[in-house]
């Protein structure tokens, strides 16, 4: 057996950055005290989800990796608690800005800086205004407790994200998230669809998945976003091991056996039987494998 205890946190955020950091630290500390070794915080937890509308002023929130207050604070906390923390932050790099995730190992060392690959654009999710598409690629990071692969929110909707990370040897998939209501479609509740998509990634790749989402109502100009929480952890066949509610600020934990998951993956032969040369359509946008360029 190679057991690992995973955790996801969820919380509401405000423009009181000190309070956001303190709240997140309390949740991480609680999860660590409950035995968690890899703890996932939600997307962009330093501030409210500022992408509800386009605002030039919010561009000033971005910071270089080395100057990010939230990264330095939680990297230090990771070392203090002896846990692995993927830390979501708004990154400034030259003239570009990214939605990024700094991976802190259990000694506080930053092992990798992963940038969000897929950038959404929709009412209430105006991310193309704030972020350039990530150029870091899908990275698998060797941490003290295992090899982790991360996608950031919209990345989690793409089976290509999970499969690329699995092919590179990820043993756990982690997805920090900010998702809730759709301002132009208030009757749509995507929470079940959101969850089933990632359960499918776990089942198809036979790898445990951790998803962390925020809760609460946030407003920017004339737009309100109500975030639906429901953070969860799956086992390697997609079964739910732990889940949070739609409104509570909390953490959840679950234990997975990475050795058992590896044996299961090998026994099914899914990766043995792949035929990459037949998947040419994946290299196109229109599905026509003969398309030029």
Point out the catalytic residue in the list 13, 23, 43, 150: 43
pTM for the whole thing?
A: 0.96
Catalytic annotation present for 259: no
184: annotated active-site residue: no
Asked if 241 and 3 touch (Cβ cutoff 8 Å), the reply is no
Instruction: Tell me how crowded residue 222 is: count the other CB atoms within 10 A of its CB.
Output: 8
What is the full per-residue pLDDT of the chain (293 aa) written as tens digits?
A: 899 999 999 999 999 999 999 999 999 999 999 999 999 999 999 999 999 999 999 999 999 999 999 999 999 999 999 999 999 999 999 999 999 999 999 999 999 999 999 999 999 999 999 999 999 999 999 999 999 999 999 999 999 999 999 999 999 999 999 999 999 898 999 999 999 999 999 999 999 999 999 999 999 999 999 999 999 999 999 999 999 999 999 999 999 999 999 999 999 999 999 999 999 999 999 998 654 44
Q: Which of 153, 164, 171, 220 is catalytic?
A: 153
Q: Which of 91, 92, 116, 126 is catalytic?
A: 116
Q: Is 150 a catalytic site residue?
A: no
Rounded Cα distance, 120 and 135, in Å: 16
Instruction: Give the C-alpha distances (Å, rounded to integers) separating 118 from 122, 135, 168, 195, 198.
Output: 13, 10, 19, 18, 16
Range 267-292 burial, b when 16+ CB lie within 10 A, else e:
eeeeeeeeeeeeeeeeeeeeeeeeee
């Amino acid at each position: 057996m190679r057991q690992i205890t995973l955790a996801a946190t969820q919380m509401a955020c405000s423009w009181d950055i000190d309070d956001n950091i303190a709240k997140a630290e309390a949740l991480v500390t609680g999860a660590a005290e409950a035995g968690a070794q890899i703890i996932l915080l939600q997307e962009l937890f330093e501030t409210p989800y500022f992408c509800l509308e386009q605002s030039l002023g919010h561009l000033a929130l971005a910071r270089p990796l080395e100057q990010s207050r939230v990264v330095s604070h939680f990297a230090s906390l990771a070392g203090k608690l002896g846990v692995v923390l993927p830390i979501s932050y708004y990154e400034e790099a030259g003239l570009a800005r990214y939605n990024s995730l700094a991976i802190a190992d259990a000694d506080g060392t930053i092992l990798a800086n992963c940038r969000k690959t897929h950038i959404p654009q929709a009412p209430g999710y105006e991310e193309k205004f704030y972020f350039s598409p990530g150029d870091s690629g899908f990275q698998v990071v060797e941490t003290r407790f295992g090899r982790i692969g991360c996608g950031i929110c919209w990345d989690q909707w793409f089976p290509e994200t999970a499969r690329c990370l699995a092919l590179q040897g990820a043993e756990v998939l982690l997805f920090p998230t900010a998702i809730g209501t759709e301002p132009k479609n208030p009757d749509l509740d995507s929470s079940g669809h959101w969850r089933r998509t990632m359960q499918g990634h776990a089942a198809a790749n036979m790898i445990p998945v951790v998803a962390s989402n925020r809760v609460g109502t946030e407003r920017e100009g004339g737009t309100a976003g109500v975030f639906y929480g429901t953070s969860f952890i799956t086992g390697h066949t997609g079964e739910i091991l732990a889940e949070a509610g739609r409104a509570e600020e909390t953490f959840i934990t679950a234990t997975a056996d990475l050795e058992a998951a590896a044996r299961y993956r090998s026994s099914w032969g899914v990766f043995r039987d792949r035929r990459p040369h037949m998947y040419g359509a994946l290299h196109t946008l229109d599905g026509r494998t003969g398309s030029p360029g």
